[in-house]
Amino acid sequence: MADMGNRMLDLLDSRDLQVFVLNTGRVGSKDDATSKKVTIPYSSAMVEAIVSGTIEWVADEDFGYDIAASAPGIDDTEILQPRRLYERQGRLAEYQGMVSRIKQDRREYLSSFAGLDDAIVKSIG
């Protein structure tokens, strides 16, 4: 497994690649009044914006990668930036705890692969 991770790092470092992660589920946790569904029209708008290069990006303060600040066809910034939803609902501590747990889980998981380049583990933050 470490070999595959190291190879992916080599590819990302040696080529001009763009990699995207697209949420097709929910924002804000469970399927209840405190969350929002990422609908098919939102997902389709994101794919179109990726292809057309029309997304405005901003650095995410929690994970360190770029997230969408705006995209044509998406009128709800809380879908693009979940932190805003949690802040508006007074649930920022819950969000920050979730971010900490996700980062810790990712570090532990990646650390389990002997020989994996340290840069990959350190990229989690």
Range(s) of the domain holding residue 11: 2-122
pLDDT at 89: 96
Q: How many domains does the chain have?
A: 1
Using CA atoms in the order 81, 82, 88, 92, what is the torsion angle rounded to 10 degrees?
-120
pLDDT at 5: 93
Tens digits of pLDDT across the chain (125 residues)? 899 999 999 999 999 988 899 999 999 988 888 999 999 999 999 999 999 999 999 999 999 899 999 999 999 999 999 999 999 999 999 999 999 999 999 999 999 999 999 999 988 87
Q: What is the reported pTM? A: 0.85
Q: What are phi and psi of 32, to 5 degrees?
A: -150, -170
Residues 15, 28 contacting (CB under 8 angstroms): no
